[in-house]
Amino acid sequence: MTQRRELTREEAGTFEIKTGASVYVIDTLAATAVRVPVRERPGPDFDAAAALRRNQELIRLIDIRACAVGVPMVLLLDVRRDGIVTLRRTTIVESIRRLRTSSASSHTRRGQKEA
């Protein structure tokens, strides 16, 4: 499990991104993201951040616009499941860690729709 400073959409694998209000697990080959809010109250924006739609559900990842330690992460997601893209901006990214390298043959390739 490797610590990193930045993540781009082109990097293959599954990554854990910790922010001030949540933990995201992003699989770049399967093009999915899952958000789990933290239980502690990290700051004044916690209540709003904790109540995002589809917490703890698999969401189709469209793009990673920004993901680096020390700045907010910016994702494009299909939260509504209707093709209308949602821009999600997180609290400050605290850490990025590779969980595993994915095999392209076992995942949906980028650009394909989920079954």
Q: Is the pLDDT of residue 53 over 70?
A: no
Tell me whether residue 57 is in a domain: yes
Q: Is 86 helix (H, G, I), strand (E, B) or coil?
A: strand
Chain segment 61-112, per-residue pLDDT in tens: 999 999 999 999 999 999 999 989 999 999 999 999 999 875 543 444 444 4
Which pLDDT score, from 0 to 100, does residue 110 have? 43
41 pLDDT more than 60: no
Which whole number is the average pLDDT over 25-50? 76
65 within a domain of the structure (yes/no): yes
Kindly give the residue spans of alpha helices, DSSP state H, lying in 2-115. Answer: 46-50
Structural domain range at position 81: 2-102
pTM of the model: 0.76
Choice between 110 and 10, residue whose per-residue pLDDT is larger: 10
Residue 95 placed within a domain: yes
Q: How far apart are the first and last CA of the chain?
A: 29
More confident residue, 3 or 85: 85
Give dist(CA 31, CA 93) in Å, integer. 20
Q: Has residue 68 been placed in a domain?
A: yes
Determine the distance from the C-alpha atom of residue 61 to the mean position of all C-alpha atoms in its chain, rounded to a whole number. Answer: 8
Domain tally for the chain?
Answer: 1
In a domain, 30, yes or no: yes
Lookup: tokens for 36: 């789990």
